[in-house]
């Protein structure tokens, strides 16, 4: 059994931050944006108590259990605190849990006695257990990767101050899973009025630092710091500065426009992707940190009767694509070429390029010529979805007829998960801030989305799931990586379930007077601070 005990060091409103989100979306910007909020100009923060940043689209809702897109995860991270946070090197630090004990089939969390809901009532173990149970049942993206394919038994003992998770099978990724915004704890009011929870109007349900105080869909969202909130995570490398009293997010879709607003002082801090990275790094008025915000790959609709239930056609799509050309279209060449569906931060990710299908347009044409292919992608995948456009053009060069569904990020996620009849091939950006293989393998194996799972492809692929179960039960790290290496060979070489392309190069940037850290190379917006 492994035990972690960290004694909270008491209220510290000057050191805080958050780990990241793991999920199913990538980040970049398209279109155009404006920002009309008025902080002090480009000279610095001055006496402001507000940070102005951006979302790439309207959140679909404010229930962490139902989050499905990148912007959902950002706002949920502001409103709902997790049991633990992830620090650099995939280590864990206290959130609502002050300590925890883990074994292969059991995790026990000691809940802090100073945590409160938005109405001031205590966050009890019973509340935590109920919230985790609802998360496991409701979150098709994260419930399975957090606790495994079978439901755990979760109980809370208010007298002992403890929550116990009894797993149905060995599963080593529980701590990573419960560190995510989607596993953020919801108080009882959220169960009593789920519609208000989704709408973001239920302050009593929150456990995190901020409540939603204004929303203008398509324009902006404003969050206000809870009075007296002091449960900020304390990283090994502390965050400096002071939390904002108000966080204002405008809807932004253009990387270049966001970069201009950071330079001119109409935005204070933001994540940026694409070709503007180098321009911001060269600006002495900005503090920047580069990170690979997502791993980009292609997946297929493999449901019975679909074009790409045929492995030869999947292999042909892989043969039609060139990673370097995709990286140039999406990132201006700034991303790293991918040799796995997992990000480099994920333990056991593959580096052997021999596992990839070699580019061969002639062989691809023999399979794809004359086919009608519906290609799904987010406009966030390069400027105005330039990565999607490259893939569509590459497939057209094989003689295929391609319909490109180049959608805003929320519509992309909704179509991929809820409308399998609408697409054949999807460009995918996986954030996977939990830094686990289970956080990405569920996207193309396990329960399909129409059955409540996270699997876009519709192919349960029992063999891939067996690799995952074997790895979760293996205590030896080297042997576990051997299992995952074979799983990657199987998925990318033998079955062509996923076609790696490149990382999505991104940057967190803050102008003078502000800071924006990315613990464990993950973007979370309450790691933004106002510097004194």
Asked, for residue 357, whether it belongs to a domain, the answer is yes
For 159, counting Cβ atoms within 10 Å of its Cβ (0-12 exposed, 13-18 middle, 19+ buried), the class is exposed
Read off the CATH number of the domain in which 484 is found: 3.10.105.10
How far is residue 455's CA from residue 147's CA, in Å, rounded to a whole number? Answer: 16
Query: Domain limits at 390?
Result: 292-505
SS3 at position 20: coil
Q: State the pairing for strand pair 50-55/106-111.
A: unpaired
Measured CA to CA in angstroms, residue 100 lies from 111, 162, 271 at distances of: 9, 9, 32
Asked, for residue 391, whether it belongs to a domain, the answer is yes
Asked, for residue 262, whether it belongs to a domain, the answer is no
- What's the count of helices (H) and strands (E) in the chain, helices before strands? 16, 19
Asked, for residue 67, whether it belongs to a domain, the answer is no
* Residue among 514, 508, 529, 528 at smallest CA distance from 44: 514
* Residue among 451, 489, 449, 498 at smallest CA distance from 467: 489
Residues sharing a CB contact under 8 Å with residue 29, sequence separation 6 or more, in sequence order? 56, 252, 253, 254, 255, 257, 258, 272, 273, 274, 380, 383
For 513, counting Cβ atoms within 10 Å of its Cβ (0-12 exposed, 13-18 middle, 19+ buried), the class is buried
| Number of Cβ within a 10 Å radius of residue 150 | 10
How far is residue 367's CA from residue 357's CA, in Å, rounded to a whole number? Answer: 15
Asked, for residue 256, whether it belongs to a domain, the answer is no
Number of domains in the chain: 1
* pLDDT score of 39: 59
* pLDDT score of 46: 56
Asked, for residue 221, whether it belongs to a domain, the answer is no
Asked, for residue 459, whether it belongs to a domain, the answer is yes
How far is residue 210's CA from residue 215's CA, in Å, rounded to a whole number? Answer: 14
Q: State the pairing for strand pair 401-407/372-378.
A: parallel
Give the pLDDT confidence of 494-530 residue by residue, as tens digits. 999 999 999 988 889 999 999 988 887 776 777 899 9
pTM above 0.75, yes or no: yes
Residues in the chain predicted with pLDDT less than 70, given as ranges, are 1-46, 139-141, 432-433, 523
SS3 at position 103: strand
* pLDDT score of 254: 82
Measured CA to CA in angstroms, residue 16 lies from 236, 240, 418, 532 at distances of: 11, 8, 37, 15
- For tokens 């403890």, the residue is 162
SS3 at position 337: strand
Identify whether the C-beta of residue 429 lies closer than 8 Å to the C-beta of residue 294.
yes
Asked, for residue 84, whether it belongs to a domain, the answer is no
């Amino acid at each position: 059994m492994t035990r972690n005990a960290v004694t909270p060091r008491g209220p510290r409103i000057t050191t805080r931050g958050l780990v990241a989100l793991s999920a199913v979306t990538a980040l970049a910007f398209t279109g155009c944006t404006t920002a009309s909020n008025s902080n002090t100009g480009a000279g610095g923060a001055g006496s402001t108590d507000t940070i102005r940043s951006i979302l790439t689209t309207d959140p679909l809702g404010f229930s962490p259990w139902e989050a499905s897109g990148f912007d959902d995860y950002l706002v949920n991270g502001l409103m709902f605190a997790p049991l633990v946070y992830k620090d650099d090197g995939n280590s864990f630090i206290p959130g609502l849990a002050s300590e925890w004990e883990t074994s292969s089939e059991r995790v026990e969390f000691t809940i802090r006695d100073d945590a409160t809901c938005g109405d001031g009532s205590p966050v009890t173990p019973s509340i935590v257990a109920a919230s985790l149970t609802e998360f496991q049942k409701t979150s098709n993206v994260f419930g399975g990767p957090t606790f495994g394919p079978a439901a755990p038994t979760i109980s809370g003992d208010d007298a002992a101050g403890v929550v116990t998770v009894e797993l149905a099978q060995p599963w080593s990724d529980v701590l990573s899973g419960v560190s995510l915004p989607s596993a953020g704890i919801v108080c009882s009011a959220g169960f009593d009025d789920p519609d208000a929870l989704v709408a973001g109007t239920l302050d009593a349900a929150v456990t995190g630092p901020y409540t939603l105080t204004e929303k203008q869909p398509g324009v902006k969202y404003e969050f206000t710091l809870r009075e007296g909130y002091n449960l900020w995570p304390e990283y090994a490398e502390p965050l400096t500065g002071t939390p904002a009293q108000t966080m204002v997010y405008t809807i932004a879709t253009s990387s270049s426009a966001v970069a201009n607003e950071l330079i001119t002082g109409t935005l204070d801090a933001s994540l940026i992707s694409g070709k503007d990275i180098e321009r911001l790094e060269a600006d002495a008025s900005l503090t920047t940190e580069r990170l690979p915000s997502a791993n980009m790959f292609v997946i297929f609709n493999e449901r019975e009767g679909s074009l790409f239930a045929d492995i030869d056609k999947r292999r042909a799509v892989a043969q039609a694509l060139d990673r370097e050309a995709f990286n140039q279209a999406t990132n201006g060449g700034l991303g790293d070429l991918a040799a796995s569906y997992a990000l480099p931060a994920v333990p056991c990710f593959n580096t052997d390029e021999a596992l990839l299908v070699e580019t061969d347009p002639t062989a691809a044409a023999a399979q794809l010529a004359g086919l009608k292919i519906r290609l799904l992608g987010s406009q966030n995948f390069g400027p105005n979805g330039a990565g999607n456009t490259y893939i569509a053009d590459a497939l057209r060069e094989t003689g295929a007829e391609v319909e490109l569904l180049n959608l805003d990020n929320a519509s992309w996620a909704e179509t991929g998960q809820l409308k399998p009849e609408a697409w054949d091939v999807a460009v995918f950006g996986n954030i996977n801030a939990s830094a686990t293989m289970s956080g990405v393998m569920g996207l193309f194996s396990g329960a399909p989305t129409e059955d409540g799972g996270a699997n876009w492809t519709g192919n349960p692929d029992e063999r891939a799931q067996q690799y995952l179960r074997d790895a979760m039960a293996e205590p030896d790290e080297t042997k576990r990586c051997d299992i995952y290496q074979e799983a990657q060979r199987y998925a990318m070489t033998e079955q062509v379930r996923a076609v790696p392309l490149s990382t999505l190069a991104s940057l967190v940037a803050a102008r003078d007077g502000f800071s924006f850290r990315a613990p464990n190379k993950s973007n979370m917006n309450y790691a933004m601070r106002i510097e004194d």
